[in-house]
Amino acid sequence: MMLTSVFAWFIISSTTAYGDVMFLRRGTNASVEISCEFPNITKDGSLMAFALKCHQNQSKEVQYLNLNSTPKITNKNTRFSVKKLPKSRKVNVIITNLQEDDTDIYWCVFYYNKGLEVQIQINGSTEFFLYVEAPEQCSCSNLLLYVLTAVALLLFFCVLILTRAYYRKPTVQPVYEDMRAVRSLNRPKD
């Protein structure tokens, strides 16, 4: 799964014309905050709306915020929340309770009014590659755990016995010689 996601990220990032790519790695049931900065535009354009889009199969709109009204959640999911920071050129999107299928490339789109009926769409300069990891299952079975514990205990006792045998005081063996059979050369014979 991870290899295909990374491969898709390389292909998509090489074929799109965005500036920066930010890699965000999170676990399932975690949350992530995506911060989008308004691009510079001429004086006569006013920011009207903001959208967060993703690449899944086609470019689909995940979240839409009309700055003159309340946020409209496109995907009917309450896991997404949008905050426009006052006196700042940023919009923060918070995605909570992440799932594996949230792994995707996200980008921000800004809609500007330029006149009565003219609307300009400008993509943000940063793409966000969000990778959501699934929790890994323990592949250890109970039998394997018991076998490893038994082997560790056996090795411990072997080391203990060998250490005790190595550092044991040697027993003193007295050396006695039978001197009766030895005759002295200087002694007279009877």
Q: How confident is the model at residue 152 (pLDDT cuts 50, 70, 90)?
A: very high
For 162, phi then psi, to 5°, come to -65, -40
Any idea which of 28-42, 87-101, 171-185 has the lowest mean pLDDT?
Answer: 171-185
Task: Say whether pLDDT at 72 is over 60.
Answer: no
Q: How confident is the model at residue 14 (pLDDT cuts 50, 70, 90)?
A: low
What is 2-133's CATH number?
A: 2.60.40.10
Beta-bridged to residue 120, according to DSSP, are: 112
Where along the chain do its domains lie?
A: 2-133, 139-169
Mean per-residue pLDDT, 153-177? 87
Q: Which pLDDT does position 160 carry in this prediction?
A: 95
Mean per-residue pLDDT, 37-47? 69
pLDDT tens-digit map of 99-126 = 888 888 888 888 887 777 767 888 888 8
